Amino acid sequence: MQNILNVWQKELMDVFRDRKGMRQSLLIPLVIGVFYAVINPLLGTLVSSRSDDILVLPVQGLEYADQEFVDTFERFDIRLEPFEGDMEAAIIKAEEPAGLIFTEGFGDNIADSQPATLIVRTNSTAGGPFQGGISLNRLELALTTYNQQITVERLTEQGVDLSVLAPVTLDSEDLATPAQIAGSAAAFFLPILIVTSAVAGGQFIAIDVTAGEKERGTLESLLVTPAKDWEIFVGKLLAVFVITAVPIMLTLAGFWTTTLFLPESMTNGAGALPLSVVGIAILLTLPLALFVDVVLMVLSIRTRDFKSAQSAISPVVMGGVFVSMAAAFVPPTVSLPFLIPVYGTAAIVGTLATGGVIPANAILFSVLGCLLGTVVGILVALPIFNRERLLYTV
């Protein structure tokens, strides 16, 4: 045990001597946490603000539309403006996001109870991902309202009881709380945040204590000590884990602190993310970080230098993000899938962010899955981490 502590102390002292690296390790997680805390409600605000803005649509053939049609669309904040030139060409070139074309005789056909056609052309790529295109929902709602008005007028003229139009009425209400609505975006971003912080927080130290020492030629001096191979590996692993845990806590602390100062317009009045969610996220991420650290060390020790190790572990980041996204789109419904490292942790954090109920034993299974994965990783690493292979293979 003493040999493990000696190796652990040695690795931590090496890290603390690198002041530039330490500043980056502490500052970057805070910046990432603040960024994620702001970006997820900001995207929701951008989307909702677009739905509330006045929708201006270029129109050709507006002279064929009746005033009732124009008035109906104005009630839905849709303003129709005449367009001169080739409107379809302008939409294809993304100069206009959308446009309407009233066919000749549109208003006359309505008055004569004949079918009338309204043509809409759109380009969903115009203006970029957040400003481009239009939402057809408002347009379709306005058109449906207009159709209902015309239908009511026609049936009234014929003396038909209007109750035949709606034999069943729908009474709908969204019962989601403001906290749930505000947490819906965090349910997607927060799992990605904890996975990326677990990987990013440990990757440089994991490389430095393995491939980095091999490249600098300092690994030999450590291997001639009385410490056994497995003791050296465990000591290094504990050092990597300690350094990884700090950025994780800083990232989530930065995320939570930022939510305290976000305006109510961005959080639907829900306020900050509950501190209990952040606390549970930290506790769940620590076993995940231990598993990730083992994976990073196994990949790094098989390379010859720092640069090669960076290339070797780059798929770990993408893989972690992919699995955390999978947990958001396909959440587990029973306890057993929570044993899967990364997937189980991301699923729990995402559910807690929206105030949802997680299955029984989910937290226990998530922690157990990460610890079992760590044990498997250590068993894989120990045959690699021996004097002969470390010194004489690259």
Q: Please tell me whether residues 153 and 187 are part of one structural domain.
A: no
Q: Please tell me whether residues 384 and 246 are part of one structural domain.
A: yes
Q: Is residue 172 included in any domain, yes or no?
A: no
Q: Please tell me whether residues 367 and 242 are part of one structural domain.
A: yes
Q: Where a domain ends, among 165, 196, 229?
A: 165
Q: DSSP class of residue 394?
A: -
Q: Please tell me whether residues 267 and 385 are part of one structural domain.
A: yes
d(CA 326, CA 65): 48
> Which domain CATH number covers 94?
3.40.190
Q: Is residue 309 included in any domain, yes or no?
A: yes
Alpha helix locations (H) across 261-274?
A: 264-267
Q: Where a domain ends, among 133, 165, 197?
A: 165
Q: Please tell me whether residues 182 and 327 are part of one structural domain.
A: yes
Q: Please tell me whether residues 96 and 193 are part of one structural domain.
A: no
Q: Please tell me whether residues 131 and 197 are part of one structural domain.
A: no
Q: Is residue 173 included in any domain, yes or no?
A: no
Domain range for 276 = 2-45+178-392
Q: Is residue 171 included in any domain, yes or no?
A: no
d(CA 92, CA 86): 10
Q: Please tell me whether residues 98 and 157 are part of one structural domain.
A: yes
Q: Please tell me whether residues 73 and 118 are part of one structural domain.
A: yes
Q: Please tell me whether residues 109 and 234 are part of one structural domain.
A: no
Q: Is residue 144 included in any domain, yes or no?
A: yes
Contact, 290 vs 370, CB < 8 A? Answer: yes
Tokens linked to 190: 């927060």
Q: Is residue 221 included in any domain, yes or no?
A: yes
Q: DSSP class of residue 82?
A: E
Q: Is residue 342 included in any domain, yes or no?
A: yes
Q: Residues for the chain: how many in total?
A: 394
Q: Is residue 25 included in any domain, yes or no?
A: yes
Q: Please tell me whether residues 106 and 211 are part of one structural domain.
A: no
pLDDT at 373: 92
Task: Name the domain count of the chain.
Answer: 2
Q: Where a domain ends, among 140, 165, 190?
A: 165
pLDDT per residue rounded down to tens, the chain (394 residues): 766 676 666 666 666 665 655 565 556 665 666 665 665 555 555 555 555 567 788 888 888 888 888 888 888 888 888 888 888 888 887 778 788 888 888 888 878 778 888 888 887 666 544 444 455 677 778 888 888 888 777 777 777 766 656 555 555 565 566 666 666 666 777 788 788 888 877 788 888 888 788 777 777 777 667 777 778 888 888 888 888 888 888 888 877 787 777 666 555 555 666 777 778 888 888 899 899 899 888 888 877 777 777 777 878 877 888 888 788 777 787 888 889 888 888 888 888 777 777 777 888 999 999 999 999 988 888 887 765 556 555 5
Q: Return the H-helix or E-strand segment holding 191.
A: helix 178-207
Q: Please tell me whether residues 377 and 255 are part of one structural domain.
A: yes
- In 3D, which of 103, 102, 100 has the Cα closest to residue 134? 100
**Full-model pTM:** 0.62
Contact, 3 vs 151, CB < 8 A? Answer: no
